[in-house]
């Protein structure tokens, strides 16, 4: 079934013009029409979609077809960046609402149906008179996840993909508080969600504006019961996540698409941000594809999740589509482009990470860190993490409220350890993954560790660079050093700045806090403070920086 094509109105034309100008893309080449269509699935339900068709002279053909699957609706703000901006530059665009969302039939169960539904969309497209014989896929975040689901069994006529800030594996991002705010948005009726602008607080990246009631639910103990009281019968998937903490559980099988990285054989543009919640997965995608010789392109900017979704990379996306879909242009950028924080410039590279030399900085007594090996008599450093007054999550790789921030407040807290170097006397550029060796003990053994690398500038203000969070194995051998690998970064410590390492036992509310007991952390209300101790003597606790080989 299909409705009548509708010409673009003045309001959308104005939004298209202003949005494209903000993003720095070239001029429009045409207007377009929008046609409501229904796409049948193999189980009998229909997906609602809008088909965008460029209005071109009779002698001209569309530049190509782009397929987009979206769970966030098809309203003006969402459709602009994912469909309309391309239709106004000569592309056809099929903008499909995910199963169980915004008029599409069936039940929304995040991640479970995209693999089969995307294949059914392709079958339907091939039967349409307007189908040009090939297509590309596009879209950030959950829209990108849908692309990886399709590439589980890559269609021969899929010729390219643009995948910003997107996971291929839902299990590895099963639980943090972003999932609660995201689930709150996705579980509300479409009419309750209202217009795009009235729903801004629900959107990934802006959920720091979420209701106080939800914040209180996340803070409550037991966590599962507190969330259940807030959600009621909404968002049943959220509680399935909590019941299946093991990523190898069969529950996650349909939501993990590592096989797509082994099967995809098309040009792929990957976009991420140093402060995106999916950066680690995007870099893994690049490395796997690159090692296979697929030669994807990777862009990593100084961006959060929303910023990395295409807001700042649209010119590159347009050039990528021009070469691989329209066949009218050339994507003449290097395989890897990363923004180096600290020096605040872009760097072109043939691969990621580039060659580096490991440089060891030793944790020192009384909060120092540097090249000098501590004496055997250096006293241990310790702190206590209290789950009833948890260390707050400030900045970093959060989907909401993250990014590069002033994190100087940690230096005044008693529930973290802060190690700060003397001012560096020559620029130090790091590219890749820093890691730490920590001779660490916790009492009780049920504990988490959060480690952050920051820079203290010449005004004595600290800003975050990268970090890692790890729930520790209570059966670990505490006589052996613990190795934790921080997330990839590219940063230059300028002369006069200082290196800072922050070690804590929590990062709340981004991560569900350790309660310090053997009981399940989401179903228990028993909380025990945890004492963390780091051995400093002899240099057994250290930070290893990947200093760029040419630095």
Structure tokens at 548: 């760029």
Binned at pLDDT 50, 70 and 90, residue 551 comes out as low
Percent of the chain at pLDDT above 90?
89
Three-state DSSP at 460 gives coil
Q: Pick the range with the lowest mean pLDDT from 208-222, 237-251, 370-384, 459-473.
A: 208-222
Mean pLDDT of 234-250: 92
Q: Alpha-carbon distance 357 to 353, whole Å?
A: 12
pLDDT value, residue 190? 67
Residues 522-545 as b or e (16 or more Cβ within 10 Å = b): bebeebbebebbbbbbebbbbbbb
Percent of the chain at pLDDT above 70?
95
450: alpha, beta or left? (left if phi > 0; alpha if psi -120 to 50): beta
pLDDT tops 80 at residue 43 = yes
Rg (Cα) of the chain, in Å, rounded?
25
Binned at pLDDT 50, 70 and 90, residue 468 comes out as very high
Q: What is the pLDDT of residues 506-549, one digit of tens each?
A: 999 999 999 999 999 999 999 999 999 999 999 999 999 999 98
Structure tokens at 103: 């008029």
In this predicted model, which residue has the larger pLDDT, 178 or 470? Answer: 470
Q: What is the pLDDT of residues 423-437, one digit of tens each?
A: 999 999 999 999 999
Average pLDDT, the chain: 94
Distance, CA of 358 to chain centre: 27
User: Which domains does the chain possess?
Assistant: 6-174+244-333 (3.40.50.1820), 175-243 (no CATH), 356-548 (2.60.120.260)
pLDDT value, residue 173? 77
How far CA 112 is from CA of 118, 155, 235, 441, in Å, comes to: 11, 19, 14, 40
Q: How much is the pTM?
A: 0.95
pLDDT value, residue 195? 43
Phi, psi torsion values for 75, nearest 5 degrees: -75, 180
Q: What is the pLDDT of residues 105-164, one digit of tens each?
A: 999 999 999 999 999 999 999 999 999 999 999 999 999 999 999 999 999 999 999 999
Mean pLDDT of 320-328: 97
pLDDT tops 90 at residue 259 = yes
Q: What is the pLDDT of residues 507-517, one digit of tens each?
A: 999 999 999 99
How far CA 524 is from CA of 221, 245, 387, 519, 538, in Å, comes to: 7, 15, 12, 6, 40
In this predicted model, which residue has the larger pLDDT, 171 or 176? Answer: 171
pLDDT tops 90 at residue 352 = yes
Residues 6+ apart with CB under 8 A from 472: 442, 445, 446, 447, 448, 449, 482
- Other Cβ atoms less than 10 A from the Cβ of 190: the count is 12
pLDDT value, residue 205? 45
In this predicted model, which residue has the larger pLDDT, 495 or 194? Answer: 495
pLDDT value, residue 188? 85
What is the residue whose two structure tokens read 């993990």?
256
pLDDT value, residue 179? 86
């Amino acid at each position: 079934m299909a409705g009548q094509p509708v010409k673009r109105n003045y309001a959308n034309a104005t939004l298209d013009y202003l949005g494209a100008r903000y993003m720095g893309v070239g001029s429009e080449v045409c207007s377009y029409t929008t046609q409501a269509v229904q796409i049948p699935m193999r189980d009998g339900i229909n997906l609602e979609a809008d088909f965008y068709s460029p209005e071109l002279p009779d002698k001209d053909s569309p530049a190509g077809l782009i397929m987009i699957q979206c769970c966030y609706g098809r309203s003006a703000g969402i459709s602009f960046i994912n469909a309309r901006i391309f239709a106004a530059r000569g592309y056809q665009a099929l903008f499909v609402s995910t199963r169980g969302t915004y008029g599409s039939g069936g039940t929304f169960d995040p991640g479970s149906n995209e693999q089969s539904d995307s294949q059914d969309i392709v079958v339907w497209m091939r039967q349409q008179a307007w189908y040009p014989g090939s297509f590309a896929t596009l879209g950030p975040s959950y829209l990108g996840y849908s692309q990886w689901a399709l590439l589980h069994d890559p269609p021969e006529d899929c010729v390219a993909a643009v995948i910003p800030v997107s996971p291929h594996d839902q299990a590895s991002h099963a639980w943090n508080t972003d999932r609660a705010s995201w689930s709150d948005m996705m579980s509300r009726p479409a009419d309750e969600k209202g217009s795009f602008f009235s729903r801004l607080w629900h959107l990934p990246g802006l959920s720091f504006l979420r209701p106080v009631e939800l914040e209180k639910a996340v803070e409550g103990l037991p966590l599962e019961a507190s969330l259940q009281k807030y959600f009621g019968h909404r968002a049943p998937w959220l509680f399935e996540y909590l019941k299946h903490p093991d990523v190898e559980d069969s529950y996650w099988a349909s939501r993990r698409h590592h096989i797509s990285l082994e099967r995809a054989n098309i040009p792929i543009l990957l976009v991420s941000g140093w402060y995106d919640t999916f950066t680690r997965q995007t870099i893994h995608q690049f490395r796997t594809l690159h090692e296979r010789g697929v030669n994807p392109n990777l862009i990593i900017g100084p961006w959060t999740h929303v910023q990395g979704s295409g807001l700042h990379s649209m010119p590159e996306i347009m050039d990528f589509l021009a070469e691989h879909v329209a066949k009218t242009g050339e994507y003449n950028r290097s395989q890897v482009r990363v923004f180096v924080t600290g020096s605040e410039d872009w760097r072109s590279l043939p691969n990621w990470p580039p060659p580096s030399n490991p440089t060891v900085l030793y944790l020192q007594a009384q909060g120092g860190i540097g090249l000098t090996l501590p004496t055997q008599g250096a006293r241990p450093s310790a702190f206590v993490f209290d789950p009833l007054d948890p260390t707050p999550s400030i900045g970093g790789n959060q989907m909401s409220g993250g990014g590069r921030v002033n994190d100087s407040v940690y230096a005044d807290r008693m529930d973290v350890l802060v190690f700060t170097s003397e001012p560096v006397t020559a620029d130090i550029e790091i590219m890749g993954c820093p890691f730490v060796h920590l001779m660490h003990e916790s009492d009780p053994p049920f504990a988490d560790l959060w480690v952050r690398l920051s820079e203290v500038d010449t005004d004595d203000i600290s800003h975050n660079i990268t970090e890692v969070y790890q729930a520790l194995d209570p059966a670990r051998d505490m006589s052996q050093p613990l190795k934790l690998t921080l997330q990839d970064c590219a940063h230059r410590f300028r002369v006069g700045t200082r290196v800072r390492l922050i070690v804590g036992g929590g990062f709340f509310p981004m991560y569900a806090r350790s309660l310090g007991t053997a009981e399940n952390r989401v179903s228990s209300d028993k909380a025990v403070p945890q004492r963390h101790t780091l051995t400093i003597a002899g240099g057994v606790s250290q930070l290893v920086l990947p200093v760029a080989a040419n630095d």
